[in-house]
Amino acid sequence: MLRWIRQQLGVDPPHQSDTRTIYVANRFPQNGHYVPQRFADNRIISSKYTIWNFVPKNLFEQFRRIANFYFLIIFLVQLMIDTPTSPVTSGLPLFFVITVTAIKQGYEDWLRHKADNEVNGAPVFVVRSGSLVQTRSKNIRVGDIVRVAKDETFPADLALLSSDRADGTCHITTASLDGETNLKTHYSVAETSVCQSVSQLEALQAVVECQQPDADLYRFVGRITVTQDEEEIVRPLGQESLLLRGARLKNTKEIFGVAIYTGMESKMALNYKCKSQKRSAVEKSMNTFLIIYLGILLFEAILSTILKYAWQAENKWDEPFYNQKTEQERNSSPILKFISDFLAFLVLYNFIIPISLYVTVEMQKFLGSFFIGWDLDLYHEESDQKAQVNTSDLNEELGQVEYVFTDKTGTLTENEMHFRECSINGVKYREVNGKLVPEGMNDDSPDGCTPQLIGEELLFLKAVSLCHTVQISYDQPDDLGGGGDPFSHANGFSSNNMEYYASSPDEKALVEAAKRIGVAFTRCSGETMEIRTFGKSEKYKLLHLLEFDADRRRMSVILQTPSGGKVLFTKGAESAVLPFTTSGEIEKTRLHVDEFALKGLRTLVVACRHFSPEEYADVDKHLSTARTALQQREEKLQEAFNYIERDLQLLGATGVEDKLQDKVQETIEALRLAGIKVWVLTGDKHETAVSVSLSCGHFHRTMNILELLQQRSDNDCAEQLRRLARRINEDHVIQHGLVVDGASLSLALREHEKLFMEVCKNCSAVLCCRMAPLQKAKVVRLWKTSPEKPITLAIGDGANDVSMIQEAHVGIGIMGKEGRQAVRNSDYAIARFKFLAKLLLVHGHFYYIRIATLVQYFFYKNVCFITPQFLYQFFCLFSQQTLYDSVYLTLYNICFTSLPILVYSLFEQLVHPHVLQNKPGLYRDISKNSLLSFRTFLYWTLLGFCHAFIFFFGSYILMGEDTSLMGNGQMFGNWTFGTLVFTVMVITVTLKLALETHFWTWMNHFVTWGSIAFYFIFSLFYGGIIWPFLHTQDMYFVFVQLLSSGSAWFAIIIIIITCLFPDVVKKVFYRHLQPTSTQKSQMYSNHVAIGDDFIALQPLSRAKSQLGKISLYRPPRRRPSAVWSPCAATNTGRAAAPAWPASWSR
């Protein structure tokens, strides 16, 4: 138990050494000196709380919030000293907020516990005591041999021992880990692959040594020592031998594997890392306003305390005849009395700090986030994917974005590759009807006649067909007999029914192109790779695979040819291959690669190297030494790869097209009109990147393109930056675009950061090419921390985009073809780049306006609430007498005024969504946090003070001295006066919100008028009954008396009109004389909203006939631009809306 506690506290980690030793089947040495290592169990724990620590841990987290901690202090002060209000007035709202938040967090954690129990309790089969035993997943221990059947997920990280296949391989899919749906082949070592039965596995004597667990999904270093006939055989284990927890077994009947990493030490669990907490600009403004209001509170409390003692300087007020002091009060310390009075005033005015603001904001964000997922315009029908929200804390930040940093491949493009051109031995070819045609020649060969490629062309196609990691899936044909081409079957499967699966879409496109041309990759079984060259089968033996990595930017295979020779095929980026070539048409190929890039094609260079027997023996030795190393294996492998991949013969290059996504150009243009600058950060070479930027509208044809490329030194980089700055200043009329490569960017950021930022700020668009993933994050961080501190958004689809997605204020993942790592690490996820326009221009606009008004309104209504309490002290000798009843103090923020602002913050729409999308310039109206600027904050605060003065003095003038308002001549008392002020206040602040509401739904009407009605009903019920559990009931019959007075009703109406009439006049005045662009658009949106609602309620035939009538609302001499996006009101509306008349162009 003590050890478990130490582990939970992190002072006793389960393992200490750099490596772990695992005895297969837990067959430990029998000598007495062996001390077994301690490993984690196989339980997955994603929950945050347990039944024992929920209360203390949750309370600790909640009281870290300043407002909650402040109200706790106030509550404790009320308990310790004699204060004018009951502790219930602070305790009950605090209890309500804490309870609601705890229930929400507890429920979310209960769901996590439920999911954990389902995973941990899943049935699994392990080999124990010579038999196959069924147990639960959580009971798997490191060293257990686990059996996994087809289509089952791996319950822990397993090292593959054997499978039902003779070669000991298996196929898996890692879609749940990285989103890649392609089949991946994993291998077992030859010594264990023969152990395919339980009895053989029970007799297996093997020890696995490997690294301690880390979060890298694509890295595993280990070795297995198998003892056979008292001889120890050592074999390396790499990533190809590790079956990750969460991956699924495919196309294999069953496998056996030994558990290497279990539970929270598995690679999947280690990737459950907590992202850094992002805070929105609204939340930062809210905290600033809270501090200002805390200052107002302290000022009012100190001023009231000083005035109390100034007033009591006269004896007649210090100790009047009707309130004589006790002996203890006369002898008490003046300092303690001053502190006590200060704390009492602090308690009296404490409601100026809105405690319920936090819980309302949380509810608004949580409930409001569902609208993104429900938006049918953000649903992608082809992939059946809807937008998803991973964090709701940043909804309003979508309306404040100033910079968008986007990846290119898979984000702006489809990541669907199509082979277009190639260069072989210095000659350009293109594919026409499944044939390679040299440049300048037409396809005039007769149909059915396939040209026989020879020499370099054939070697190039063989290299393309063999240098890859593509997997093949066969579909069994219905009838293998009955004629047909006798050579069209490979191992009983038709080559026409083959489907290729690849982790890289480029590889798949190239292998498919080679197959169309006549060199088909037909089989990969263990170490054998088979191709069919124009009908003739050739078998190659795969000797070594030199995997692709981001540093080398190339991959290679070493093969044994059918004639027995050894050959290396390499393909990769031209900058990673051409420097290592010594023969071939290098310069011509380089020119062709640049031409392909200018056309926007993705380029790869292909080369080869033939080994003599002595050279191959040396290469094999280098690779074997590097792969069996336990320490610094990656570095040694890199050295070995670089040693092998040299003295290459250049074969040619390929050009593959990546199609642009739909409406990318329109989306980028809309973002530009909204005042958002778009940066493209890509790893492609600059010619390809510039071509795509031009085609997608990121760069305009009329734009002056500036270049900061291939800078070799700091001085050269600085001089080039100064030249660019002078060009921009000399020609400031034309728009400029900047192209930067990764190497030059590193130099620019090292010494000349300010100069580089100055150049970038004056450019309309920036393109960064040849970027490493960490460089992308560095660029985002540079602008995020610049003096202007703009709000940044990063969007990408691949694992290489995760760092910039996490670095930006808002991270958006594209549900693309490069896996799900970007989606998992993002704040929001969408299926296509085009959806970004609506996400920002519509949802971002709405969320920001809603929450900005919510925050300002909360402070306004609390100023209205507490200021009369402060003014009342001037009329009661600062005796700390409360103006309102304790129940009213408690329920004001919880019941009487809470629901209208919550519903407003969920449904408000200043402008119709269609207008926002078609007038992107409206996004500028809310930029720079304009609705939460200090000027706006000051307006709402002063408005609150003005209304509070009118509430108090309006009621006071009406109920001045010698004024009888009852029919029987009876005078009103202080509780009636306070209730009158409170009644006027509740109605006024509710109607003030109604004036701010532009988009009325039945729910707005229900909560607005319902809140006022509820206040009246509650007050009549509360004051009309003698409640036995209340020790005093000051409010008995007070409200009934107040409502029975016609003068009181007259006062209520007059005061409300006095408060709200100037607001109405101001709105009308500004709307007609100084309207904003948003207000100008509202009349259009009203027409659109009427049309939408009207059409959505009609039958389809009638709706179509009504569509044309809406065009009557168009201004004269304006032509329509783009078609309205579909109306989501009803299915009928969605069916009719594609024919919707257009918005008006700017």
Three-class DSSP labels, 565-578: CEEEEEEECHHHHH
Question: Alpha-carbon distance 1085 to 1093, whole Å?
Answer: 12
Dihedral pair phi/psi, residue 687, rounded to 5°: -65, -45
Sign, CA torsion 477/482/485/486 = positive
Question: Alpha-carbon distance 204 to 683, whole Å?
Answer: 47
- Residue 87 near residue 75 (C-beta atoms within 8 A): yes
CA 778 to centroid of chain Cα atoms: 18
Sign, CA torsion 929/930/931/937 = positive
Residues tagged active-site: 407
Choose among 5, 223, 26: nearest CA to 141. 26
Question: Alpha-carbon distance 830 to 389, whole Å?
Answer: 9
For the chain, helix (H) and strand (E) counts, in that order, are 41, 37
Can you state the percent helix, strand and coil of the chain, rounding each to 5?
50, 20, 30
Distances (CA, A) of 555 to 464, 576, 636, 651: 12, 10, 16, 15
Residue type, 373: G
Within 63-210, residue ranges assigned H as helices are 66-80, 88-120, 175-178, 190-193, 198-203
Please name the residue that has the structure tokens 């007609």.
Answer: 1072
Please name the residue that has the structure tokens 């298996």.
Answer: 170
pLDDT number for residue 799: 65
- 813: region left, alpha or beta (phi > 0 left; psi from -120 to 50 alpha): beta
DSSP sequence for 1019-1055? HHHHHHS--TT-S--TTTTHHHHHHT-HHHHHHHHHH
Q: What are the residues facing 845 on neighbouring strands?
A: none
Rg (CA), the chain: 37
Residue type, 801: D
Within 647-696, residue ranges assigned H as helices are 664-673, 686-695
Choose among 247, 169, 157: nearest CA to 208. 157
Question: Alpha-carbon distance 202 to 217, whole Å?
Answer: 30
- Residue 588 near residue 571 (C-beta atoms within 8 A): no
pLDDT number for residue 496: 55
- Residue 949 near residue 871 (C-beta atoms within 8 A): yes
Over the chain (1146 residues), the average pLDDT of each successive run of 10 is 49 61 84 73 82 87 78 82 73 81 80 82 89 90 92 91 86 66 78 87 89 81 88 87 87 90 84 59 83 89 87 66 64 77 84 80 86 89 85 85 87 80 90 82 52 75 89 54 36 55 78 90 83 89 83 86 92 88 90 84 90 90 84 84 90 87 88 90 76 80 82 83 86 82 84 85 87 81 87 83 84 73 79 90 92 92 91 84 84 88 91 88 86 90 94 82 56 79 94 92 93 91 69 71 80 91 88 78 59 38 39 37 34 34 32
pLDDT number for residue 146: 93
pLDDT number for residue 818: 52
Choose among 431, 514, 433: nearest CA to 470. 514
Choose among 690, 689, 701, 695: nearest CA to 668. 695
Question: Alpha-carbon distance 263 to 46, whole Å?
Answer: 11
- Residue 837 near residue 320 (C-beta atoms within 8 A): no
- Tokens describing residue 444: 């005039």
Question: Alpha-carbon distance 495 to 284, whole Å?
Answer: 62
Residue type, 440: G
- Residue 245 near residue 300 (C-beta atoms within 8 A): no
pLDDT number for residue 1142: 34
Distances (CA, A) of 748 to 741, 755, 910: 10, 8, 44
User: CB pairs under 8 A, 24+ apart, for 1087-1093?
Assistant: 1087/1113, 1088/912, 1088/914, 1088/915, 1088/1113, 1089/912, 1092/912, 1092/1127, 1092/1129, 1092/1133, 1093/1129
Question: Alpha-carbon distance 654 to 660, whole Å?
Answer: 19
Number of neighbouring beta carbons within 10 Å of residue 498: 18
- Residue 84 near residue 347 (C-beta atoms within 8 A): yes
Question: Alpha-carbon distance 1084 to 30, whole Å?
Answer: 86
- Residue 742 near residue 779 (C-beta atoms within 8 A): no
Distances (CA, A) of 105 to 72, 93, 323: 20, 18, 51
pLDDT number for residue 452: 55
Choose among 356, 300, 311, 354: nearest CA to 869. 300
- Tokens describing residue 364: 């608004």
Question: Alpha-carbon distance 954 to 956, whole Å?
Answer: 5
pTM comes to 0.70
Choose among 318, 312, 305, 309: nearest CA to 348. 305
Three-class DSSP labels, 577-611: HHHHEEECCHHHHHHHHHHHHHCCEEEEEEEEEEE
